[in-house]
Amino acid sequence: MKKYILALDQGTTSSRAILFDREGQLCGCAAQEFPQHFPHPGWVEHDPLDIWNSQLAVARQVLREQHIDPHQILAIGIANQRETTVVWDRKTGVPVAPAIVWQDRRTAELCDALRADGKAKKITDISGLELDAYFSATKLKWLLDHVPGARQKAERGELAFGTVDSWLVYKLSGQHVTDVSNAARTMLFNIHLMRWDYDLLHLFGIPEAVLPQVVSSSEEVGHTHPGLFGAAIPVAGIAGDQQAATFGQACHRPGMVKNTYGTGCFMLMHLGRQPVASHNRLLTTVGWRIDGETDYLLEGSVFMGGATVQWLRDGLGIIQSSAEVEALAASVPDSDGVFMVPAFVGLGAPHWDAYARGALFGLSRGSTRAHIARAALEAIAYQSAELMTAMQKDAAIPLTEVRADGGAARNDLLMQFQADLLGVPVVRPRVTETTALGAAYLAGLAVGFWDTQEEIAAQWTCQRRFDPAMGSDQRAARMARWSQAIDRSRNWQS
pLDDT in tens for each of the 494 residues of the chain? 899 999 999 999 899 999 999 999 999 999 999 999 999 988 999 999 999 999 999 999 999 999 999 999 999 999 999 999 999 999 999 999 999 999 898 999 999 999 999 999 999 999 999 898 989 999 999 999 999 999 999 999 999 999 999 999 999 999 999 999 999 999 999 999 999 999 999 999 999 999 999 999 999 999 999 999 999 999 999 999 999 999 999 999 998 999 999 888 999 999 999 998 888 889 999 999 999 999 999 999 888 888 899 999 999 999 988 889 999 999 999 999 999 999 998 898 899 888 899 999 999 999 999 999 999 999 999 999 999 989 888 887 888 899 999 888 999 999 999 999 999 999 999 988 899 999 999 999 999 999 999 999 999 999 999 999 999 999 999 999 999 999 999 988 76
The answer as to whether 452 is a domain residue is no
Say if residue 16 carries a ligand binding annotation: yes
Domain count, the chain: 1
Q: What stretches of 137-212 adopt beta strand conformation (E)?
A: 159-162, 177-179, 189-190, 195-196
**CA distances for 408 relative to 139, 323, 377, angstroms:** 29, 9, 9
Per the confidence metrics, is the pTM higher than 0.85? Answer: yes
Say if residue 14 carries a ligand binding annotation: yes
Say if residue 310 carries a ligand binding annotation: yes
The answer as to whether 418 is a domain residue is no
Say if residue 306 carries a ligand binding annotation: yes
Q: Give the structural domain span for 143.
A: 4-240
The answer as to whether 377 is a domain residue is no
Say if residue 411 carries a ligand binding annotation: yes
Say if residue 82 carries a ligand binding annotation: yes
Say if residue 190 carries a ligand binding annotation: no
The answer as to whether 364 is a domain residue is no
The answer as to whether 339 is a domain residue is no
Please confirm whether the linkage preceding 350 is cis (ω < 30° from 0): yes
Say if residue 308 carries a ligand binding annotation: no
The answer as to whether 16 is a domain residue is yes
Residue 282 CA to residue 284 CA, distance in Å, equals 7
Q: What stretches of 331-421 adopt beta strand conformation (E)?
A: 339-341, 359-361, 402-405
The answer as to whether 407 is a domain residue is no
Say if residue 134 carries a ligand binding annotation: yes
- H/E/C letters for each residue in 18-44? EEECCCCCEEEEEEEECCCECCCCCCC
The answer as to whether 251 is a domain residue is no
Say if residue 241 carries a ligand binding annotation: yes
The CATH number linked to 172 is 3.30.420.40
